[in-house]
Structure 1
Amino acid sequence: MVRSPLITASILAGINGALAALLTCGPFQYDPAQYVCWSNAFLCPIKAGEPLSYCAGACYSKFMYTCSPQTNTLSLLPTLPPGTPFRLSASNPSEPGVHGLPVSATGLKLYVGGTTSSYCPVAQVGAACPAGNTTQFVAFDGSVSMNVLVPGGQAAYLGPDSIMGYTQAHSAYIPEGSKRTGFAAYAGGGFVNLNSGGWGWVACPSTSPVGGGGYWRLVARNETTAGELAVWGCREVNLKVEVVDQRPGEFGAWQYA
């Protein structure tokens, strides 16, 4: 009986502390760790460490949209011209363990961080072997492929387990139930999964059921997996697009291994 007042006081102190941390946005109170206030009137959520911007009654991500300052209208960013080589990196300033890490290809899967694995038959190709030390992509009409020289190329895909992978060189095999299309690489923005039910990307630790390779594995969130991925310690990320300055005929690798 003696403990009850102490417990009650502790709970009240916690509530009062939480209330004290709230800020005011017009008539609303909000948690600045979860929302951002625009013009002291509009609240937008923070997603994957990005405070969403505001335009004409809508909250939007700068990884996908732009707002015209002249007309105050929202529109999609332009997609990269087909065949433009680009790299990806994870963006979430609130998660320093993954923020800024490059997306790398190894073992036919894509990871956040880690080392790119590539191969070139030097005896046949010689000095024409690309460097192969960075992971590069190209996009065509909603599909994405690895930026490689090997005949037949290597297609990237979203597997039925929601893990991003790519095909083996000289093979077109993709697991049944995979998604080959439904992606967009936006100029000055991000790489987005537009497939139905897509909720963005996460980087999952090697200790999670979908982890592997000792690195953060790139996984797509959806309406059925979002809860599990959070429990497994996966971190929400945006994927930032960086165009690669290359001359025609240059590639990221002969093939990614």
Structure 2
Amino acid sequence: MFTKSFAPLVATLAFASAAPAPAVIPQDPPYYLKPTARAPGTAVDGGVLNAVNGGLFIGQDTTTDCPGSVYPCDTFTNITAITVSNSGSGASMDAYVPGGQIAYINATGEFGYTAAHAQNVPSTATQKGFTRIEVFGPRETYATVTFKGSNWLACPVEGAASVYQVNAAAVASKTGCVGFEMAAIEVGSSEPQAYEYVAPYTVS
């Protein structure tokens, strides 16, 4: 099993007082994105979103796996990356494993993804609603990923200092969370970033 941690990206650009106006760019080709948190002035700003045991977390290392006996595993970066298409077909993890790994939002708001070799999306989860948006501001232009038109919540994980689980603000109804934008950083390649991201096979 491979694990890899990446230092948080620190925002260095100045922010204007006026809120930038978002505009959806209607393109069908998928985007290959490394997600990070954008929330100036908060503890999660610049935090890398990592795939960990079926969810997205800030403050924990990515968990990946690769059958080294049958595949050259050193070809993967093992960073967390997701694939988003603006055609409305949903999102997936940027994994090589046959059949892929579908991304979804649980009924209680948590970002989740299926295990390798199993399309085990919970019956109450939602797969569609992910959109990549270009945000045009007076000082900068950047891209974010939203779910059903809303941003995200970083909710503290009980018993784990400085660890937050990613939830969709459009679905989750939780307190004590930090709102953030999911910055969409292009990984610059259509080649999968991991053989597979570790996830449980049993879901409710």
Quick one: which of 152, 155, 179 aligns to 1:236?
179
Match of 1:71 in 2: none
What amino acid maps onto 2:181 in structure 1? N
How far, CA to CA, are the matches of 2:128 and 2:44 in structure 1?
26
In structure 2, do the counterparts of structure 1 residues 89 and 244 end up closer, same or farther at CA, with 3 Å as the change threshold? same
From the superposition, tell whether residues 152 and 162 of structure 1 become closer, same or farther in structure 2 (CA, over 3 Å).
Answer: same
Whether contact under 8 Å (1:199, 1:223) holds in the other structure is: no
**Greater radius of gyration (CA):** 1
2:3 match: none
TM-score with structure 2 length normalisation?
A: 0.76
Q: Deviations over 1:170-207 (max 9, x none)?
A: 0001111111001101243211111xxx6431100112
The Cα shift of 1:83 comes to 2.4
Q: How does 1:174-253 map to 2 (within 5 A)?
A: 174-187=121-134, 188-194=142-148, 199-207=150-158, 215-222=163-170, 225=173, 229-230=174-175, 233-246=176-189, 248=190, 250-253=191-194
The CA deviation string for residues 104-137 of structure 1, in whole angstroms up to 9 with x for no partner, is 10110111232111011111002564121x1001
Q: Does 1:169 align with 2:120?
A: no
CA distance in 2, matches of 1:166, 1:223: 16
Query: SS where residue 178 of structure 1 aligns?
Result: coil
Which residue of structure 1 lines up, in the alignment, with residue 4 of structure 2? none
Corresponding residue for residue 44 of structure 2: 98
Query: What is the aligned length?
Result: 175
The answer (yes or no) to whether the contact 2:93–2:101 under 8 Å persists in 1 is yes
By percentage of residues, which structure has more helix? 1
- SS of 1:179's equivalent? coil
Identity of aligned residues (%): 24
* Deviations, residues 59-93 of structure 1 (Å, cap 9, x unaligned): xx45xx1xxxxxxxxxx241565222111111111
Calculate the TM-score normalised by the size of structure 1.
Answer: 0.62
Alpha-carbon distance in 1 for matches of 2:165, 2:53: 11
Is the CA contact (8 Å cut-off) linking 2:99 and 2:117 kept in structure 1? yes
Choose from 136, 143, 163 the match for 2:81: 136
Aligned Cα RMSD in Å? Answer: 2.5
Unaligned ranges ≥5, structure 2: 1-14, 135-141, 199-204
**C-alpha contact 1:160 1:176 (8 A) present in aligned 2:** no
Structure 1 spans left out of the alignment, 5+ residues: 1-48, 54-60, 66-75
**Aligned: 1:154 with 2:101:** yes
Is residue 85–residue 136 contact of structure 1 (8 Å, CA) maintained in 2? yes
